[in-house]
Amino acid sequence: MKFLAASLMIVLTPFVCSGKKTLNIVPYPQKVEMGTGSFGMKGAPVFISGSLDKMSAKAAEEFAGRLSTVTGKKNDIIKEQTKKCISFDTDASLAREAYTINVERNGVRISASSYNGFLYAIQTIKQMLPAEIYGTECAKGARWKLPCVSISDKPRFAYRGMHLDCARHFFSVEEVKKYLDIMSVYKLNVFHWHLTDDQGWRIEIKKYPKLTEIGAYRNGTMAGHDFTSNDGIRYGGFYTQEEIKDVIKYAAGLGITIIPEIDLPGHMAAALASYPEFGCTGGPYEVWTRWGISKNVLCPGKEASFKFIEDVLTEVMDLFPSEYIHIGGDECPKDSWKECPDCQKRIKELGLKSDKNHSAEQYLQNYVTARVQKFVNDHGKKIIGWDEILEGNPAPGATIMSWRGVKGGIQAANMGFDAIMTPNKYVYFDYLQSKEKDKEPLAIGGYLPVDSVYAYEPYNGLKESARKYIIGVQANLWTEYIATNAHLEYNLLPRLAALSEVQWCNSENKNWARFKASLKHQTRIYDTMGYVYCKDVFGIIGLPGQERKASAK
């Protein structure tokens, strides 16, 4: 944790927008009514109603503990509600993730009906306090007062996700937890964990040990954008099932569900390097050392391939309590299926024929999706797939993740499928944040500044009756060109803050000027919590140590 003595003097400065005072809270609450005066949090007793569930009561206690540490004065937990206290109480009439906060001169009343509701109320209160509340050091001189305000809040979308590709580059358990920590600051509730790809298999599967003995390591990595190069450095890593359980538990404590992704039938070169018998030619295959899409994909002509997938998914479903399992489905080249006698036999047996819309091989992928979906459904869970699974006829009950722009999500919603919007144009956080490519760290390309993320409206292009199928929004962070945690955080922040307003705020509550003004406070939070972030909105570009002034726009 970094502690800046200078920031001790910083007080909460509300942004004034068309005559109305607003607060530095991100995502901004749905309803805020400012009062007059303030309540001093330093040393105020904390009442936790017996109606709170155990986890919520623990979160309230932890908040009291944190407050005591940073203010230097103990906040006692009290059994009877008194006048001048911070009170946590259940209000069963509130929706699951909703909360209310009432700050008056003589006390603070916080209400919610669920764990996530209480967590979000606490996050909102923390954002109204000096950023030192996110640290662990005493900041006696800071102004530990809340402005009098009445807040009534709930999210616009139920699904508020952030993805991380741990296959192209591996991030440690501690780094993943830190990623989850900042997601929780912004009230996200889903972590989409991309665990397998051509360049590495990252999850221990007990029945197939070679997946991690062989598939978790590659013989070097291409350098920069040179697809012919190899740095010659063996690279890899994986999560044991015990580590995964630990991360799932940690995320649950932050109100975050983890959805694992096992990408299939494409993006499987690392799996095939481990078990070549599940490929069309039988190999040998290698864990890929360069980016792009390998043509070595799972062979659906062989019954053994399905047994393999089902065994893997059984262990995955046993590990992850999430109701959804992501089965990938993106970018599956059909070259090997066209040449493979087993695949062609399967196509014939199933009576699959090319038509004006799709090839027989595309319909074969549809068959794979449907079989895997049935298996997952039979285990009481649901599938999510990238928008390619719409090619052919997906089975009812699949959820579509729209990544090639918004059209997949719109098509899915029009067909009555639930959809999650992750359009590359607005929420691919591997894209560059400024137009000055030479000043930015290495990137895949693209251009996605924080204001473009902020501007995204998920209902655009959707007719009224289809809107209910958009269950939420997620940003994706692919890591082909991101090898370090500092670079990862640079790509994440502050775009994650902008994403959170797309996910949380009703469109009439979004306001770029108000959000931009609050970024200064957000960066104090990042500094206190020890995150790297992009300072492009403040005219600086580059990773720490390489920061340069942006050219005037």
Which residues contact Zn ion by CB under 5 A?
Answer: 280, 299, 301, 340, 342-343
Tell me which of ligand ACM, Zn ion, none is bound by residue 386, counting a contact when its beta carbon lies within the kind-specific cut-off of 5 to 8 angstroms: ligand ACM
Query: CB neighbours (10 Å) of residue 94?
Result: 18
- Token pair for residue 351? 């009576």
Helix spans in 129-186 (H): 173-185
Give strand pairing partners of 145. 40
Residue 203 DSSP label: B
Nearer to ligand ACM, 153 or 387 (CB): 387
Stated as kind and residue range, the H or E segment containing 102 is strand 99-104
Query: CB neighbours (10 Å) of residue 440?
Result: 20
Query: Among candidates 23, 189, 25, 192, which has minimal Cα distance to 96?
Result: 189
Nearer to Zn ion, 40 or 333 (CB): 333
Minimum distance of Zn ion from residue 344's CB (angstroms)? 8
Tell me which residue has tokens 């944040």.
Answer: 433
Minimum distance of Zn ion from residue 281's CB (angstroms)? 8
Cα 481 to Cα 551: distance, rounded to the nearest angstrom: 24
Query: CB neighbours (10 Å) of residue 17?
Result: 12
197 carries an active-site annotation: yes
Minimum distance of ligand ACM from residue 353's CB (angstroms)? 28
Q: Which residue out of 163, 169, 194, 267 is catalytically annotated?
A: 267
- Token pair for residue 252? 């649950």
Nearer to ligand ACM, 331 or 436 (CB): 331
267 carries an active-site annotation: yes
| CB under 8 A, 24+ apart: contacts of 417-421 | 417/390, 417/469, 418/469, 418/471, 419/469, 419/470, 419/471, 420/159, 420/161, 420/384, 420/470, 420/471, 420/472, 420/473, 420/474, 421/458, 421/470, 421/472, 421/473, 421/474
Q: Which residue out of 311, 331, 436, 451 is catalytically annotated?
A: 331
Q: Is 386 in the site for ligand ACM (CB under 6 A)?
A: yes
Minimum distance of Zn ion from residue 301's CB (angstroms)? 4
Nearer to ligand ACM, 477 or 502 (CB): 477
Using only C-alpha atoms, the chain has a radius of gyration, in whole angstroms, of 25
Nearer to ligand ACM, 337 or 403 (CB): 403
Nearer to ligand ACM, 124 or 196 (CB): 196
Cis peptide before 284 (omega within 30 of 0): yes
Nearer to ligand ACM, 330 or 361 (CB): 330
Tell me which residue has tokens 């530095």.
Answer: 24
Nearer to ligand ACM, 325 or 532 (CB): 325
Query: Among candidates 353, 535, 520, which has minimal Cα distance to 450?
Result: 535
Minimum distance of ligand ACM from residue 326's CB (angstroms)? 10
Tell me which of ligand ACM, Zn ion, none is bound by residue 343, counting a contact when its beta carbon lies within the kind-specific cut-off of 5 to 8 angstroms: Zn ion
Minimum distance of Zn ion from residue 184's CB (angstroms)? 43
Query: Among candidates 162, 157, 167, which has minimal Cα distance to 179?
Result: 162
Tell me which of ligand ACM, Zn ion, none is bound by residue 301, counting a contact when its beta carbon lies within the kind-specific cut-off of 5 to 8 angstroms: Zn ion
In the three-class reduction of DSSP (H, G, I as helix; E, B as strand; rest coil), residue 78 is classed as strand
SS3 assignment for 333-382? CCHHHHHCHHHHHHHHHHCCCCCCCCCHHHHHHHHHHHHHHHHHHHCCCE
- Token pair for residue 203? 């999850």
User: By CB under 6 A, how many residues form the interface with ligand ACM?
Assistant: 4
Query: CB neighbours (10 Å) of residue 415?
Result: 15
331 carries an active-site annotation: yes
Query: Among candidates 103, 74, 77, 99, which has minimal Cα distance to 89?
Result: 99
Nearer to ligand ACM, 252 or 471 (CB): 471
Minimum distance of ligand ACM from residue 51's CB (angstroms)? 44
Tell me which of Zn ion, ligand ACM, none is bound by residue 342, counting a contact when its beta carbon lies within the kind-specific cut-off of 5 to 8 angstroms: Zn ion
Tell me which of ligand ACM, Zn ion, none is bound by residue 403, counting a contact when its beta carbon lies within the kind-specific cut-off of 5 to 8 angstroms: ligand ACM
Helix axes 115-128, 173-185, angle to 10 degrees: 80
Residues 395-414, one symbol each (x = binds ligand ACM by CB under 6 A, - = not), give: --------x-----------
Tell me which of ligand ACM, Zn ion, none is bound by residue 280, counting a contact when its beta carbon lies within the kind-specific cut-off of 5 to 8 angstroms: Zn ion
Cα 184 to Cα 173: distance, rounded to the nearest angstrom: 16
Contacting residue, 132, 330, 501, 527, with ligand ACM by CB under 6 A: 330
Tell me which of ligand ACM, Zn ion, none is bound by residue 103, counting a contact when its beta carbon lies within the kind-specific cut-off of 5 to 8 angstroms: none
Cα 471 to Cα 419: distance, rounded to the nearest angstrom: 6
- Token pair for residue 486? 């500092």
Tell me which of ligand ACM, Zn ion, none is bound by residue 133, counting a contact when its beta carbon lies within the kind-specific cut-off of 5 to 8 angstroms: none
Q: Is 331 in the site for ligand ACM (CB under 6 A)?
A: yes
Give strand pairing partners of 260. 193
Nearer to ligand ACM, 127 or 402 (CB): 402
- Where are the strands (E) in 444-509, listed by range? 470-475
Q: Which residue out of 132, 153, 165, 197 is catalytically annotated?
A: 197
Tell me which of Zn ion, ligand ACM, none is bound by residue 299, counting a contact when its beta carbon lies within the kind-specific cut-off of 5 to 8 angstroms: Zn ion
Query: Among candidates 331, 458, 334, which has minimal Cα distance to 388?
Result: 331
Q: How many CA atoms lie within 13 A of 515 on its CB side?
A: 25
Query: CB neighbours (10 Å) of residue 143?
Result: 16
Tell me which of Zn ion, ligand ACM, none is bound by residue 239, counting a contact when its beta carbon lies within the kind-specific cut-off of 5 to 8 angstroms: none
As annotated, the active-site residues are 197, 267, 331
Contact residues toward ligand ACM (CB under 6 A) are 330-331, 386, 403
